[in-house]
Amino acid sequence: MNSYRFDVLSLLPKSFSAMTELGVIGRALNKGIAELHLHNPRDFTKDNYHKVDDEPYGGGAGMVLKPEPIFTAFENIPTYKRRKVLMMTPQGNVLAQKDLLRWSENNDQLVFLCGQYEGFDERIRTLADEEVSVGDFVLTGGELAAMTIINGVIRLLPGAIGAAESLIEESFSDLLLEHPHYTRPAEFCGMRVPQVLRSGDHGEIAKWRQEKRIERTKKRRPDLYRRWIENDQSTEEEND
């Protein structure tokens, strides 16, 4: 199978070294499950000052990212058949696990447009298939947002995570949050591992875990709990 390709347009390409060496993602990149290619629009400027931003038309504070270096850098990127171009912006659709699943399954290349401090010249938006926000807060640039998405997509790619079941039992994919986990020792600082988990009764353990998942979701994420209830009912209707 061909590896999944990530291309990032960023004025701070070095920030991605935070993810290229370490852990599951570093290993997946080293194994060739995915490739990460960084492109700095500054390298595609044609003036002596390597200017990537300029003052806003109409006046006002802050600078605006110029379209030319970004378009030129973008045109330099190879195009895979199932490519998707994502612009990182707090104005985009808020990211959810279903998006990561969709991109991991339907695409073979993700291109990220990251801003720094400044806004994008509006014409840069025409390059994007989707605008994505990682949450209702403002970061200094799109790099952490792009790294979040790359991380979330890579871990869904075949071979990136060891045990297959660690993906199957997963929180958001079936809408409930995870149950509590324990490992040795059985008692720590007066806190004991629930007896049922040490009983060896797999039926009882599964029941306890499911109850905890429901209880946790209801308490912490009533919005997810409601969706789960609705989903559960529609699956029951399908099976009738």
Per-residue x/- marks for ligand ADE, 172-211, CB under 6 A? Answer: ----------------------------------------
Based on CB atoms, which residue is closest to ligand ADE, 135 or 180?
135
Q: How far is the CB of 68 from ligand ADE (least distance, A)?
A: 21
Based on CB atoms, which residue is closest to ligand ADE, 134 or 175?
134
Based on CB atoms, which residue is closest to ligand ADE, 30 or 91?
91
Tokens representing residue 6 in the block? 């990530």
Considering only CA atoms, which of 46, 56, 51, 52 is closest in space to residue 65?
52
Based on CB atoms, which residue is closest to ligand ADE, 18 or 206?
18
Contact 88, 145 (CB under 8 A): yes
Based on CB atoms, which residue is closest to ligand ADE, 144 or 224?
144
Per-residue x/- marks for ligand ADE, 77-116, CB under 6 A? Answer: -----------xxx--------------------------
> Does residue 139 touch ligand ADE according to CB under 6 A?
yes
Give me the helix-helix angle, 202-220 and 222-239, nearest 10°. 130
Distances (CA, A) of 139 to 114, 117, 136, 205: 11, 8, 10, 42
> Does residue 142 touch ligand ADE according to CB under 6 A?
yes
Of these, 133, 147, 175, 217, which contacts ligand ADE (CB under 6 A)?
A: 133
Q: How many CA atoms lie within 13 A of 219 on its CB side?
A: 8
Distances (CA, A) of 102 to 5, 120, 198: 15, 26, 38
Based on CB atoms, which residue is closest to ligand ADE, 140 or 199?
140
Tokens representing residue 123 in the block? 């014409």
Considering only CA atoms, which of 228, 122, 214 is closest in space to residue 173?
228
The footprint of ligand ADE (CB under 6 A) covers: 88-90, 133-135, 137-139, 142, 145
